[in-house]
Homo-oligomer: A and B are copies of this chain.
Amino acid sequence: MSVPTATGSAHHVTTTADLGPAAALSCRECGERFPLTPAFACASCFGPLEIAYDLPLGDPEGLRRRIASGPASIWRYAPLLPVPADVADKPNLNPGWTPLVRADRLAAELGVTGDLYVKDDSGNPTHSFKDRVVANAVEAARAFGFTTLSCSSTGNLAGAVGAAAARAGLRSCVFIPHDLEQGKVVMASVYGGDVVGIEGTYDDVNRFCSELIGDPAGEGWGFVNVNLRPYYAEGSKTLAYEICEQLGWRLPDQLVVPIASGSQLTKIDKGLKELIATGLVEDRPYRIFGAQATGCSPVSQAYKAGHDVVRPVRPDTIAKSLAIGNPADGPYVLDIARRTGGAVEDVSDEQVVDAIKLLARTEGIFAETAGGVTVGVTGKLIEAGLLDPSLTTVVLNTGDGLKTLDAVAPTTGPSAIIRPNLDSFREAGLAS
């Protein structure tokens, strides 16, 4: 193995890091391999780096038993993640192992005749899938000797990083646009870490963080979504693992996944391929569908136009957790959707709200706007004949409605206001 210097390498690198089955960083474009360091871009071609593994092959039954006897968290999959074997013994938020909800009432409304499930990630410690990725980044931070956990964020990630750092006993310092809603600032700062508001847009925040990584002012800092990104992103694979294990070690026929940067969708595909490679599931076709809000749908637009590249857009949608106008993994998403026989589709903000309320009234799940996007897109794909309603389908809800109350506030409210007596109640027309 050649050992060129990867870009994005940081200070205080411990090269003897114990990251379990992780074997190397590997370039998604040219395949060049690098040692496990806090790096994110290939030194040869600047392509994105991801983790390559020494996977546990040849004994799927033993591996299934090992997983089944593990904790009720993502750490049951430690043999497939860039984490040490004793990860569950260290103080961490233990995210994952969230419910796969059989959604018969939603299925009936959508005209699905096969088995429909919602993977409900609002059950995570800070109520979004971000806890999965951040937990993996924390282990990388520990392995590389970082003492401060950091990120650029539009709000949700800042809270997930603050919480994870608090539990792990690490300092945190997160960067957000200065004009965020107060609720998100409260969530980010309640864990006691530093929260820095940047006078500028999220793009300015991101650019500043990249600058800080190369400067002594950021020495010893692990930015979960920058210099720890390859480790961080692996956390999304656990969604694929859990879905298949919860289905009885079986691949679903179809998955509907939201697209922000596109990272989650590509890692779910990677996770499914690893399950096939290790023999944990039978090798058979699956289709991955991507879901965007129309107000930020660069990947959907590229898909429909038959393009291989994604043209950046300026986001304008209530689905703020998906509002990345220039999605780094967009081209990979297009490739996966086409290769697996899936598709990419988008829905309007009005459809997002309707879908949030549909999921709430049929299954009692109050989803974040991103969940409205996937449920809404599922309905649209069925109407278009692109998603087969007779097959087993899993729709992801990656966040919690409590964080995006404003999206549904204008169209919810009391059925009636009455005086506290039976006559007044009967007049309201709600009596038995």
CA A428 to CA B212, docked complex, whole Å: 14
Q: Which residues of chain A in 113-146 are interfacial with respect to chain B, using CB atoms and an 8 Å cutoff?
A: 123, 125-127
A414-B185 contact in complex given A104-B91, A205-B420, C-beta closer than 8 Å = yes
Binds B, one of A18-26, A159-167, A379-387: A159-167
Whether A430 sits at the interface, judged by CB under 8 Å, is yes
- Alpha-carbon gap, A220 to B432, bound state (A): 7
Nearest B residue (CB) for A169: B105
Q: CB-CB contacts of A51-93 with B at 8 A, as 1s and 0s?
A: 0000000000000000000001000000000000000000101
Interface centre among A102, A364, A403, by most chain B C-beta atoms within 10 angstroms, is A364
Asked if A309 CB lies within 8 Å of chain B CBs, one says no
Contact B414–A364 (Cβ < 8 Å): no
Contact segment of A189-197, A234-242, A295-303? A189-197
Interface pick from A248-256, A332-340, A354-362: A354-362
Chain B binder among A266-274, A388-396, A404-412 = A404-412
Name the one of B105, B165, B178 contacting A91, with C-beta atoms under 8 angstroms. B105
Q: Flag if B104 contacts A99 (CB, 8 Å).
A: no
Shortest A206–chain B CB gap in Å is 10
Q: A408 to chain B: which residues have CB within 8 Å?
A: 186, 190
Interface: A366 (CB within 8 A): yes
Residues of chain B with a CB closer than 8 A to A185's CB: 412-414
**Bound complex: CA A402 to CA B204 (Å):** 28
Q: Count this chain's copies in the assembly.
A: 2
Q: State whether A364 touches B401 (Cβ < 8 A).
A: no
Q: Are A196 and B409 in contact (CB-based, < 8 A)?
A: no
Q: Are A420 and B207 in contact (CB under 8 A)?
A: yes
User: Is B364 a contact of A163 with CB atoms below 8 Å?
Assistant: yes
Number of A interface residues at 8 Å Cβ cutoff, please give it. 89
A153 in the interface, Cβ–Cβ < 8 Å?
no
Is the CB–CB distance between B418 and A125 below 8 Å?
A: no
How far is A163 from B125 in the complex, measured between Cα atoms in Å?
20
A87 to B105, CA, bound (A): 18
- Per a CB cutoff under 8 Å, which of B197, B364, B402, B419 touches A418? B197
Q: How distant is A106 from chain B, measured CB to nearest CB, in Å?
A: 10
Tell me, in angstroms, the Cα distance from A178 to B424 when the chains sit together. Answer: 14
Taking the closest CB of chain B, its distance from the CB of A68, in whole angstroms, is 12
Would you call A182 an interface residue if the criterion is a C-beta within 8 Å of the partner chain's C-beta atoms?
yes
CA distance A272 to B417 in the complex (A): 43
Against B, the Cβ 8 Å flags (1 = close, 0 = not) of A204-233 are: 110110011001111111000000000000
Known: A105-B166, A199-B418. 10 other contacts (CB 8 A): A93-B364, A166-B363, A190-B401, A195-B413, A205-B420, A207-B420, A212-B425, A216-B431, A217-B432, A220-B432
A-B contact pairs, 24 of them (CB 8 A): A72-B72, A148-B432, A159-B366, A163-B365, A166-B360, A167-B363, A176-B414, A183-B409, A187-B366, A189-B414, A190-B356, A190-B366, A191-B360, A193-B361, A195-B414, A196-B414, A196-B415, A196-B416, A197-B414, A197-B418, A199-B418, A208-B421, A217-B422, A221-B432
Name A residues whose Cβ lies closer than 8 Å to a Cβ of B.
72, 91, 93-94, 97, 99, 102, 104-105, 123, 125-127, 148, 159, 162-169, 173, 176, 178, 182-183, 185-187, 189-200, 204-205, 207-208, 211-212, 215-221, 356-357, 360-366, 400-403, 405, 408-409, 412-422, 425-426, 428, 430-432
